[in-house]
Structure 1
Amino acid sequence: MKYSDLVKAMLFASIHELAANSENYALHPGKDFSRNRKLGFKHLLLMLLAMEADCIKEELYRFFGRSTDAPSKAAFYKQRKKINNDAFRSLLVSFTQKCKKKLFKGKYSLVACDGSAADIFRNPDDPDTFFEPNGKSTRGFNQIHINAFFSVLDKKFTDLLVQPSRKRNEYSAFCQMVDRSETDTPVIYLCDRGYASYNAFAHVIENGQFFLIRCTDAKTEKILGVPLDGIKQLDYHVDRILSRSQSKKKRLYSELEEQCRFVCQDVPMDYIAQDHPEYRLSLRIIRIELSDGCYENLVTNLPDLDFDIDDFKDLHHLRWNEETSFRDLKYPLCLKAFHSKKYEYIVQEVWARAILYNFCAEIAIAVESPEKKTKHVYQVNYSEAIKTCRDFLRIHDGTTTLDVEGLNAQNILPARPGRTFARQARFKLPISFCYRN
């Protein structure tokens, strides 16, 4: 059996596990998905995974074949209305756990956390997602914000949390995903500057895991209590006592004044309460020089024995893999082409794209490029691999075959590590449904 067939069998096994308990994922248990239909629970999930950017009717023809026996658009709408979003998270977790796992230093899972915005159907009456007209968009636009955990070595999404962009809160999303994480190995969470907070540090520590979070100079100086001027390299441990009170008389450890940090009432800190007025944590502050005059601050709780300065430089660069995963999610996987105006259905499609990404990544990672004496090391072209794997997943008649490994090995690109480009922040006009054929 080819590895692509094995991966497809693992995904199908996860879908069958959910289908066996479909009442747990139905809006009306005991009623929904209780009858045999052309577009039942299994086929509905598969079709949502394999959808591209066409209209619903074309998607139905592509999945079931262009015949009069294909389900109608009304049937699709009625069926997708019956399923809740817990089904998609359960499917993602179930499938990802069946896949191979790569570990850093043979011990740690590396999980990057980041967020990205996605445009949805324009609706000025939705205050949670609508942005008023400005100099770039004269009509205004609606957006959602996708918070994601991404396993950088395995190239797979491990969890998602979708928020309306007007109500986005990356701190809260990170803490929620950490608390519900399901793993049997130690995890290192790699995060950007936007996630640096005492509450985020505490949630990871309380769950027995590790973090490596970038931090601005201003925040790093507040944690240290000293300016960073003239410091080129730093590896320093600090103990901090967090409190809601600035009164020295109310502190439990008044003799440790230099370790105390005040957390105001407006800043979330879930481990300070009336019966626990103070919270103690130990942090390791790292400052490294990436290039001449360019420095990076990192806050972590990783142990000294296992991690030195060179390890932190490698981990810092690995986090970038999640940025490229969002690019693949939006373009080859058609995340920018939603098939509904309803928020809950849009969330369904975000989860479906993430599951499809994991399916494609598991197949593409296993492809071995032919060894040739060339200047560069070659890797699979993920944009083409995604299209091939999606067509492969769509095959469910039991007879049609597709040489997935051969097609992926045929579409390769040179890997050029170390290349850097200036990041261009270009605004793209949001498009609703005018891309439909």
Structure 2
Amino acid sequence: MSHEFIKAAFSDAVNHVASNISRYVINPDKDLTRNRKIGAANLISFMVSCGASSTKLELLDFFGLAPIAPSASAFNQQRAKLKPDALEAVFHQFNSSVLSMEKTTDYRFLTADGSTFTFFSKPSFSTPEYFVSEGHSAKGFYSMHLNALYDLHKHTYTDALIQPIHQKDEFRAFCDMVDRHALLPDTRDVLIGDRGYCSYNNMAHIMEKNQYFLFRTKDIHSKGLVGNFDFPDTDSFDILVNVTLVRSHKKTIPIKEGFYKRFVDADASFDYVAYGSLDTYDLSFRIIRFPISNDSYECAVTNLPPAEFPVERIKLLYYARWGIESSFRKLKYTIGLSNFHAYKPDYIKQEIWAKLITYNMTETLINHTIIKKGKTKHEYKVNFSMAAHICRVFLRLTAEKDPIDVMSLLCRELIPIRNEHHYPRLKTAHFRKPRYFIYRAV
């Protein structure tokens, strides 16, 4: 797939939204209907190609230092008319176009995780659901949570859902994304999550779509989901269990032979049996326990077939989940999603969707860059930081006047792959406050 096709897929997605702009504006009868320097298509393209400099500098770069470049005030007036849904629609349209041109595989491995984005705002702009106070003082900042599904092979985001920080619900977001996720013909999805995603409800949503899951869970000695089964005497094992879920305390509810009865209380979410109902729901899955050091063990649950996915492959597959953690770091600090250009939550959502598009375009360009292998100590990959900059420039209007051989540029920006490097995970999350606008050069 050439860089021209990738840019055409983005342009088609933008033009599709621009041609139906009445669906994505505050006032459908008048907003973004006039022919202006920064109309709907330019507005979306600018936000996707925008870097971390001030809005004024980014506009000058986008319009090729032309004297007619719109002001930051004009941009803010235009973006106020646009709903975040417009950028979300471009994100999905672009993903769909690229996916239609790529080869399908037997399995698609998708991992779920979330990340929090902080920003400064004003009480007049934001509702309390975004506000995070600092102790007992009136000072604080604002925050929203991004839930995402990430393709571990293509290194791109396939779906996302944004929530105010005080309405954060990763279980609900995961189920919503699974339910609406488009399936590929002749391909089975494998949804992977850490133990924060391990629940009967999440399992059921995946199995209802006839797909697969792999979740890390608490160890068998805890009171978690797998804490009360009959396990072998060995420390490591791979067993199949059958479970019947009930939501009523009546003892007359029939349970099949060989099934464990599990009660789902009122506080736990389960969308397929109402609390108090006499209905039941059956689940079958593997419980796998394997050592990760001389004295510690990991435990996982999955419905993947054991013939194709023995324990060793399950271990490698779960460890690959770390890819989404790395992607969040690149999304924030390389793509620039820690440097917002706005105060209002809807504008922040616009920028989150815009940066997700930029990230996916960058990784798509990298995926289709052909790297010649030589007799070297290490294999090489494209430098993501340089690729992100090249992608941003490639999207700007000046790139259409002066064509860029993107793939040749990317082939020159290589770094060695050193998989032997390992770094200990921090025991506590490394939190960073949002940065004020004054950090930028004017």
The TM-score normalised by the length of structure 1 is 0.91
State the SS of the aligned residue for 2:355: helix
C-alpha distance in 2 between matches for 1:431 and 1:397: 31
Residue 228 of structure 2 corresponds to residue 225 of structure 1: yes
Q: For residues 91-130 of structure 1, what are the structure 2 equivalents within 5 Å?
A: 91-99=90-98, 101=102, 106-123=105-122, 126-130=127-131
Structure 1 residues 69 and 221 mapped into 2: Cα distance closer, same or farther (>3 Å)? closer
Structure 1 residues 356 and 46 mapped into 2: Cα distance closer, same or farther (>3 Å)? same
C-alpha distance in 1 between matches for 2:122 and 2:103: 43
Structure 1 residues 423 and 227 mapped into 2: Cα distance closer, same or farther (>3 Å)? farther
Residue 432 of structure 2 corresponds to residue 434 of structure 1: no
C-alpha distance in 2 between matches for 1:416 and 1:293: 28
Moved more, 288-297 or 90-99: 288-297
Determine the structure 2 residue equivalent to 1:414.
416
C-alpha distance in 2 between matches for 1:426 and 1:146: 17
C-alpha distance in 2 between matches for 1:325 and 1:262: 37
Following superposition, the deviation at residue 134 of structure 1 comes to: 4.9
State the SS of the aligned residue for 2:245: strand
Contact in 1 for aligned 2:148/2:159 (Cα 8 Å): yes
Determine the structure 2 residue equivalent to 1:317.
319
Pairs aligned (count)? 431
Given candidates 237, 255, 266, the residue that maps to 1:234 is 237
Moved more, 352-361 or 179-188: 179-188
Residue 182 of structure 2 corresponds to residue 182 of structure 1: yes
Following superposition, the deviation at residue 224 of structure 1 comes to: 5.7
C-alpha distance in 2 between matches for 1:419 and 1:75: 48
Determine the structure 1 residue equivalent to 2:28.
29
Letter in structure 1 aligned against 2:273: I
Determine the structure 2 residue equivalent to 1:308.
310
Determine the structure 2 residue equivalent to 1:280.
282
C-alpha distance in 2 between matches for 1:354 and 1:232: 42
CA deviation profile, 1:355-401 (whole Å, cap 9, x unmatched):
11111111112223332222111111111111111111113563213
Contact in 1 for aligned 2:246/2:262 (Cα 8 Å): yes
Contact in 2 for aligned 1:221/1:228 (Cα 8 Å): no
Following superposition, the deviation at residue 349 of structure 1 comes to: 0.6
CA deviation profile, 1:108-135 (whole Å, cap 9, x unmatched):
1111100111111155785323333259
Structure 1 residues 33 and 140 mapped into 2: Cα distance closer, same or farther (>3 Å)? closer
C-alpha distance in 2 between matches for 1:372 and 1:428: 41
State the SS of the aligned residue for 1:75: helix
Residue 63 of structure 2 corresponds to residue 64 of structure 1: yes
Determine the structure 2 residue equivalent to 1:147.
147
CA deviation profile, 1:13-71 (whole Å, cap 9, x unmatched):
22222222222222332322222111111111100101111222222111113333112
Structure 1 residues 230 and 408 mapped into 2: Cα distance closer, same or farther (>3 Å)? farther
Letter in structure 1 aligned against 2:132: F
Determine the structure 1 residue equivalent to 2:381.
379
C-alpha distance in 1 between matches for 2:158 and 2:242: 32
Contact in 2 for aligned 1:243/1:260 (Cα 8 Å): yes
C-alpha distance in 2 between matches for 1:248 and 1:123: 55
Following superposition, the deviation at residue 164 of structure 1 comes to: 1.6
Determine the structure 1 residue equivalent to 2:403.
401
Determine the structure 2 residue equivalent to 1:391.
393
Letter in structure 1 aligned against 2:170: E
CA deviation profile, 1:241-288 (whole Å, cap 9, x unmatched):
112223313x233x7596111111011111112666322211211122
- Give unpaired runs (5+ residues) of structure 1: none
Moved more, 12-21 or 382-391: 12-21
Following superposition, the deviation at residue 407 of structure 1 comes to: 2.3
Following superposition, the deviation at residue 421 of structure 1 comes to: 0.8
Moved more, 335-344 or 211-220: 211-220
State the SS of the aligned residue for 1:44: helix
C-alpha distance in 1 between matches for 2:225 and 2:363: 41
State the SS of the aligned residue for 2:400: coil
Structure 1 residues 123 and 279 mapped into 2: Cα distance closer, same or farther (>3 Å)? farther
Structure 1 residues 154 and 297 mapped into 2: Cα distance closer, same or farther (>3 Å)? same
Structure 1 residues 90 and 235 mapped into 2: Cα distance closer, same or farther (>3 Å)? same
State the SS of the aligned residue for 1:237: strand
State the SS of the aligned residue for 2:128: coil
Letter in structure 1 aligned against 2:79: R
C-alpha distance in 1 between matches for 2:147 and 2:330: 15
CA deviation profile, 1:63-120 (whole Å, cap 9, x unmatched):
11333311222321222122222222221122112225465xx311111100111111
Structure 1 residues 35 and 395 mapped into 2: Cα distance closer, same or farther (>3 Å)? closer
Percent identity of the aligned residues?
36
Letter in structure 1 aligned against 2:337: L
Given candidates 363, 369, 374, the residue that maps to 1:367 is 369
Contact in 2 for aligned 1:102/1:109 (Cα 8 Å): no
- Give unpaired runs (5+ residues) of structure 2: none
Determine the structure 1 residue equivalent to 2:48.
49
Contact in 2 for aligned 1:123/1:141 (Cα 8 Å): no
Residue 173 of structure 2 corresponds to residue 169 of structure 1: no
CA deviation profile, 1:279-312 (whole Å, cap 9, x unmatched):
2211211122234334221111112333211221
Letter in structure 1 aligned against 2:379: V
CA deviation profile, 1:117-155 (whole Å, cap 9, x unmatched):
1111155785323333259x9943322111111111011
Letter in structure 2 aligned against 1:149: L
State the SS of the aligned residue for 2:147: strand
C-alpha distance in 1 between matches for 2:267 and 2:386: 48
The TM-score normalised by the length of structure 2 is 0.90
Structure 1 residues 308 and 163 mapped into 2: Cα distance closer, same or farther (>3 Å)? same
State the SS of the aligned residue for 2:117: strand
Moved more, 223-232 or 31-40: 223-232
Following superposition, the deviation at residue 431 of structure 1 comes to: 1.8
Determine the structure 2 residue equivalent to 1:261.
262
C-alpha distance in 2 between matches for 1:10 and 1:210: 30
State the SS of the aligned residue for 1:225: coil
Contact in 1 for aligned 2:242/2:258 (Cα 8 Å): no
C-alpha distance in 2 between matches for 1:282 and 1:153: 27
Letter in structure 1 aligned against 2:28: P
Structure 1 residues 229 and 52 mapped into 2: Cα distance closer, same or farther (>3 Å)? farther
Contact in 1 for aligned 2:113/2:149 (Cα 8 Å): yes
State the SS of the aligned residue for 1:99: helix
Given candidates 246, 249, 253, the residue that maps to 1:243 is 246
Structure 1 residues 231 and 22 mapped into 2: Cα distance closer, same or farther (>3 Å)? farther
